[in-house]
């Protein structure tokens, strides 16, 4: 019993102790494997590489076994196994490994990249960013609401102007909302755009209003984040 | 008479008192109904859902009756009914409900979403934003004027360069202005763009000038808003 | 002689004195005429309105005569007529009026909108903006140079990747530069884009580098302008 | 021997001494030649100018000889010739001149523009910019990582939604990544975009998340650069 407790402690330090040199190497190796596994999955979607598929799939099985062993070790070594299993990172591990074992939900494997989120825990920026979001939470809510309202007004407005002229492009208000999204974010694919004079004038007004609505909140987060970052730096000096 | 005054006061507190618990629930229910009504209207524009139209229309009549009752109660419970009717929110209520009653102006219903603007009254950000706009009003006027001038110069310039090469795309200066809007906001649908060497060089110069003209004013509002926001926060501490 | 000097002074105050009430009205009327003249010119480019052309042209002659009278009065009333003629605004007046008189250079008329630049003289923002530009002149030079270098590197790079695959789109380095402009400003018309794997990877790297190069200088002007604006405001209080 | 040392010193001052008047002229002439050489190379890629090719090539040989002489003089005049040869600017000189001498690697000539990087050494902004990057290095790493994760999640997500509907556009995850790049940078060429309802909703969520991820880091550099710039300026006063 004592031996198991010792082993558990040992494994835990190998997997989670950020000051342990062996732990660092192990975690880097795992992160590297995650990247390889994601790359492997991506390569399998290229039709021209179909000749490589058998090897890629074999490699995936190998990675899967390693991840399973890692998961079992993480559960075993944890002081509170249930707490780990239902933690954010525990659930991601479970969701991205378990289904592959049974050959189910083929596509969920790509979520495996979310396991890399672990890396962010070591960044002080994560804490700053969270603080910045909390600081401007109310303002962000305000601007998100305003942006949603503007999106809907834009979508409905352009529908009235363009529906008759282009019934196949602006079929319903939902198609018009897609136009509003592509326009107000200035992506502008060009799959859908106004052609009537009224629609163009309406679009002009909306896009100038919209630029502010999109820019102000990001500027707000950026400014809040920057000041959090500078305070942090001054505290250190 | 006294009873009526009491009833009026009661209804008023149910509809407008932000500290009253019942009032909060009623207002949330109304906001939710506005969203449902807007969704209902949007769904009616999808041709594939035509089988659903009768049910959607029935639901709309139901919502309309509720809104009418709400409007009558708001007018009745108001201390100064005429003032409410001609207030900003009173007029929006009237415009978005009344026409539907008579089956007229079918499309005006979608303006109903503007009734959600009421929500913004409770945000302190609304006050900050209004203050920020006032602070930089003169600067915004300056940049809006400059942007309009640049838009016109861009539109006329590209017209001279492209009209002969693409008479169907750059037919008139107004078509060219549409190009200027799509380019200076960096939306770039791709429905209209220069093809001559002169036009491309002109467009290059204009877009680099234009990025500043569009970015500086939004940065100005953002900066003014951020400082208003931080002052507000410091006052509280 | 004395009478003429008095008349000259009188006309000068009517045209240029910003505190004179009559002068304000005259200048607004002239600005309004400039706008009408520009609109008139723009409307003449719409083929569907060809029936209106005779009336539009008549109106233009009327405006032209007024502008000529204004110009003659400005020269006459000026203390140093030659200095006025060769000043910035004097030259704009000359360039946009004189050619029309002789029926030459048809299209130069649209430059008439530049006469509206006079309005900016009354904005304090003009002074702030000029000061901000001076403050960050060296930095702007730095970033402009860096942006030009990146544009050229982007254009030449994409030419190597795409020239063989799309000889008609990426014909020469100048066509590739047009791609670089449209991409780094995120306009993205869609008339020209990479299709090879190498070109897409190269474009990805370039666009992420380029966003910073374009955003940092505009943020710099904005920040400099904002601080100039706030200092100005604090001085007044 | 003494004579050679004197000559070496003389040439060195002519080439590198920023306070020497002759050196300034020589360096400007060289920079001008670099620009001409780059323009020359670009003009050679225009098919319509093929008649000019012989003259353009002759000019290029002339420039090449001057550059070779300059390189030899730089190596000769340097106190530590080997150190110069393997320095950043020394290697660029070598790479962009040597291959042309042997008629090899035709296209590497366009890298010659990188020789203009020398100009940046004299800008104080270079130092500020480097300092700003160092200040926010950790934050930039954080956001770059987050942006890469978002890019991959966006690419994989859209692949699942669109692969079946558009197998020729969203063939593999790598094609989908190209969509993610073009969308999150808001370039939006329009060569590839979602057409299914699910894909459009997913794209909407991703693009709103992505705007922040792209804007915050550039705002961070801009803010850090601006404060470095202002500190610098205050130190001078």
Residue D132: name the closest of D56, D39, D224, D220 by CA. Answer: D224
User: Rounded distance, CA C49 to CA D46, Å?
Assistant: 41
Percent of chain C whose predicted confidence (pLDDT) is above 70:
90
Confidence bin at C235 (pLDDT 50/70/90): low
Confidence bin at D194 (pLDDT 50/70/90): very high
Confidence bin at D105 (pLDDT 50/70/90): low
Question: Residue C107 gets which letter from DSSP?
Answer: G
Q: Residue A189: list chain C partners with CB under 8 A.
A: 190
**pLDDT digit string, tens, across residues A117-126:** 877 776 777 7
Question: Residue B171 gets which letter from DSSP?
Answer: -
Give pLDDT, residue A171. Answer: 92
Note whether C189 contacts A189, CB cutoff 8 Å: no
User: Rounded distance, CA B194 to CA C182, Å?
Assistant: 11
Give pLDDT, residue C104. Answer: 53
Helices (H), A78-172: 81-85, 88-101, 124-135, 137-162
A39 in Cβ contact with A110 (< 8 Å) = no
| B19 Cβ contact list (under 8 Å, min separation 6) | none
Give pLDDT, residue D175. Answer: 93
Note whether B218 contacts A204, CB cutoff 8 Å: no
| Neighboring chains of B (3 or more beta-carbon pairs < 8 A) | A, C, D
Q: Out of A123, A189, A221, name the one closest to residue D188 (CB).
A: A189
Give pLDDT, residue A163. Answer: 92
Give pLDDT, residue B87. Answer: 87
Helices (H), B44-136: 53-77, 81-85, 88-101, 124-135
Q: Mean of the per-residue pLDDT values for chain C?
A: 83
Q: Out of A152, A187, A215, name the one closest to residue B222 (CB).
A: A215
Note whether D190 contacts B190, CB cutoff 8 Å: yes
Distance from CA of B151 to the nearest CA of C (A): 11
Note whether A138 contacts B123, CB cutoff 8 Å: yes
Pick A9 or B216 by higher pLDDT. A9
Q: Residue C219: list chain D partners with CB under 8 A.
A: 218-219, 222-223, 226
**pLDDT digit string, tens, across residues C127-174:** 777 887 887 788 888 888 888 889 998 998 999 899 999 999 999 999
Note whether A190 contacts C186, CB cutoff 8 Å: no
Residue-wise burial string across D90-128, b where 16 or more C-beta atoms lie within 10 A, e elsewhere: bebbeebbebbeeeeeeeebbbbbbbbebbeeebebeeb
C62 pLDDT more than 60: yes
Note whether C186 contacts A186, CB cutoff 8 Å: yes
Give pLDDT, residue D163. Answer: 92
User: Rounded distance, CA D140 to CA C231, Å?
Assistant: 31
**pLDDT digit string, tens, across residues B25-73:** 888 898 899 889 888 888 888 888 888 888 888 898 888 889 889 999 9
Note whether B189 contacts C185, CB cutoff 8 Å: no
Torsion on CA atoms B44, A198, B86, B25, rounded to nearest 10:
40
Give pLDDT, residue C106. Answer: 56
Q: Residue A125: list chain D partners with CB under 8 A.
A: 138-139, 142-143
C191 pLDDT more than 60: yes
Pull the structure tokens for residue B208.
Answer: 């680099």
Q: Look at the block and give the residue holding tokens 């930095």.
A: C139
Note whether D187 contacts C189, CB cutoff 8 Å: no
**Best B48, B183, B190, B222 residue to mutate vs chain D (most D CBs within 10 Å):** B190
Q: Look at the block and give the residue holding tokens 């036009």.
A: B199
SS3 category, B189: coil
DSSP labels, D49-97: GGGGHHHHHHHHHHHHHHHHHHHHHHHHH-SSHHHHHTSHHHHHHHHHH
Percent of chain D whose predicted confidence (pLDDT) is above 90:
22
A82 pLDDT more than 70: yes
**How many other C-beta atoms are found inside a 10 Å radius of the C-beta of residue C51?**
7
**How many other C-beta atoms are found inside a 10 Å radius of the C-beta of residue C234?**
8
Pick B19 or B103 by higher pLDDT. B19
CA atoms in the 13 A half-sphere facing the CB of D189: 23
Note whether D189 contacts B190, CB cutoff 8 Å: yes
Q: Residue D189: list chain C partners with CB under 8 A.
A: 188-190, 193
Cα B127 to the chain's mean position, in Å? Answer: 17
Q: Out of D186, D189, D190, name the one closest to residue B186 (CB).
A: D186
**How many other C-beta atoms are found inside a 10 Å radius of the C-beta of residue A83?**
10
B166 pLDDT more than 90: yes
Domains and CATH numbers, chain A: 2-122 (1.20.120.350), 128-236 (1.10.287.70)
Pull the structure tokens for residue A58.
Answer: 């074999």
Pull the structure tokens for residue B213.
Answer: 């003209």
Q: Mean of the per-residue pLDDT values for chain A?
A: 83
Confidence bin at A8 (pLDDT 50/70/90): confident
Note whether A138 contacts B126, CB cutoff 8 Å: no
| Neighboring chains of A (3 or more beta-carbon pairs < 8 A) | B, C, D
Is the backbone of residue A115 left (phi > 0), alpha (psi -120 to 50) or beta? alpha
Q: Out of D123, D178, D189, name the one closest to residue C142 (CB).
A: D123
Q: pTM here? A: 0.89
Residue C28: name the closest of C42, C15, C44, C12 by CA. Answer: C15
Which ipTM score applies to this complex?
A: 0.87
């Amino acid at each position: 019993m004592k031996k198991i407790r010792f082993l558990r402690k040992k494994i835990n330090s190998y997997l989670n102790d950020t000051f342990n040199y062996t732990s660092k190497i192990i975690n880097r190796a795992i992160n590297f494997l995650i990247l390889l596994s994601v790359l492997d999955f991506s390569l399998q979607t290229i039709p021209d590489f179909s000749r490589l598929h058998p090897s890629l799939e074999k490699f995936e099985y190998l990675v899967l076994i390693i991840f399973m062993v890692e998961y079992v070790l993480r559960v075993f070594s944890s002081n509170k196994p249930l707490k780990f299993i239902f933690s954010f990172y525990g659930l991601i591990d479970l969701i991205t490994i378990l289904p592959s074992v049974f050959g189910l939900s083929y596509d969920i494997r790509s979520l495996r990249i979310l396991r890399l989120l672990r890396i962010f825990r070591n960044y002080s920026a994560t804490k700053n960013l969270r603080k910045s979001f909390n600081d401007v939470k109310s303002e962000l809510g305000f601007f998100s609401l305003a942006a949603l309202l503007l999106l809907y007004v834009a979508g409905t407005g352009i529908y009235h102007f363009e529906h008759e002229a282009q019934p196949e492009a602006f079929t319903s208000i939902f198609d018009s909302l897609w136009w509003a999204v592509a326009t107000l974010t200035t992506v502008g694919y060009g799959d859908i755009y106004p052609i009537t004079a009224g629609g163009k004038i309406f679009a002009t007004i909306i896009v100038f209003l919209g630029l502010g609505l999109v820019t102000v909140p990001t500027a707000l987060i950026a400014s809040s984040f920057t000041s959090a970052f500078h305070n942090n730096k001054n505290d250190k000096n």
